[in-house]
Amino acid sequence: MSTFDDNTTRIYGLDSLISEVPNLLGFVPADSLVLLCFEHAGENPASAPVTVRTDLPPAENCQALVAYLVPQVFSKVQAEFVIALVVGSDQGEQRGLIDALEADSHWHGIELHAMWTPALRAGNKWICYQDAACAGYVHDTSASPLAAATAAAGFHTYGSREEIAETIAPASDAERDEVQRQLEEWLFRTGPAESLREAAAPVFNAMERLRAGEPLETDQIVAALGALNGDVRVRDLMFTIHDTVSAQLWTILLRKAPDAYVPNVAVLSAAGAQLRGDGGLANIAVERALAASPTHPLAIMLDQVLQFPPQELRRIIDDVASKPDLQLD
């Protein structure tokens, strides 16, 4: 799920709305069902919507996907009007998916407008499922006001979901093996910290180095990973820090982390991305956490919370931040 919190950004007309989907998601989707969810019904909704993307399902799984999406997504964002966009495949092949989606949406009191396009490339035609006279073309929105606003907020629109995944993909086995070796040494020689401030110092030190524009050495990466995984309070404290420097650090640590150290860093990356409105990265980071540890409690929780707008995650983090044991002395 992706959102954009700039209330001054407006999108007018179906051509523009469909064309802006890559800017709303942060990447160009392919073979996808994209749902643009609006709180209020209307012919021409203008404000940027909550945007949900999922892979196109096999025909036999259409009803199961719809049964999950409608109550779990639409009602949670309190949508009254949803635009469903099928990207890729064949228009006719996805008719069953749209029929099921339309039926369940109607039952929940949600107005649905559905269309199809072979790919979100400028010049491609989009076609409506419900009205043969409703059609249009995808425009180039690389320089649109929304693209400018997302770029100003520090976001990059990727060419595919795979490009996002590559930004946090594991480094080489040799690099991660060396980090693992040094982590074992670090854990052996590092005793219990006397305070949370002392326990979290390696993470704060790494952030300060990045803030100064200096690269991290392997021993600093090792110390930060050890601190995040050695004391659960350090990890929880880091949920309350979500700026560009912390995002940079989580990316570096995710690439270098041995498998056992991935989940705690991945959930921090996911939470920060979601709060920045970067739902694409948030979902991919949670996937990495769950791949490394399918039963990781925070990864499971975030997998559910990412279905909500960022305000829900902010509320949870505010609760975490108020815990007495997370106050730095």
- The residue-averaged pLDDT of 255-262 equals 96
The amino acid sitting at 169 is: A
* Structure token pair of residue 313: 């995650």
Tell me the pLDDT tens digit for each residue of 101-134.
Answer: 999 988 888 889 999 999 999 999 999 999 888 9
Residues paired with residue 326 on neighbouring β-strands, in sequence order: none
Where does residue 141 rank: exposed (0-12), middle (13-18), buried (19+ CB within 10 A)?
buried
Residue 314: pLDDT band with limits 50, 70, 90:
confident
Percent of the chain past pLDDT 90, that is, above it, reads 48
Residue 310 confidence (pLDDT) above 80: no
Q: Give the relative orientation of helices 218-230 and 196-211 as an angle to the nearest 10 degrees.
A: 140
- The residue-averaged pLDDT of 208-219 equals 94
Q: How far apart are CA 112 and CA 37, in angstroms?
A: 9
- pLDDT score at 78: 75
**CATH code 3.40.50.720 for 14-153:** no
The size of the chain, in residues, is: 329
Residue 228: pLDDT band with limits 50, 70, 90:
very high
Domain boundaries of the chain, sorted by first residue: 14-153, 168-326
Q: How far apart are CA 296 and CA 10, in angstroms?
A: 39
Tell me the pLDDT tens digit for each residue of 131-147.
Answer: 888 999 999 888 777 76
pTM over 0.75: no
Q: How many CB atoms lie within 10 A of CB 101?
A: 27
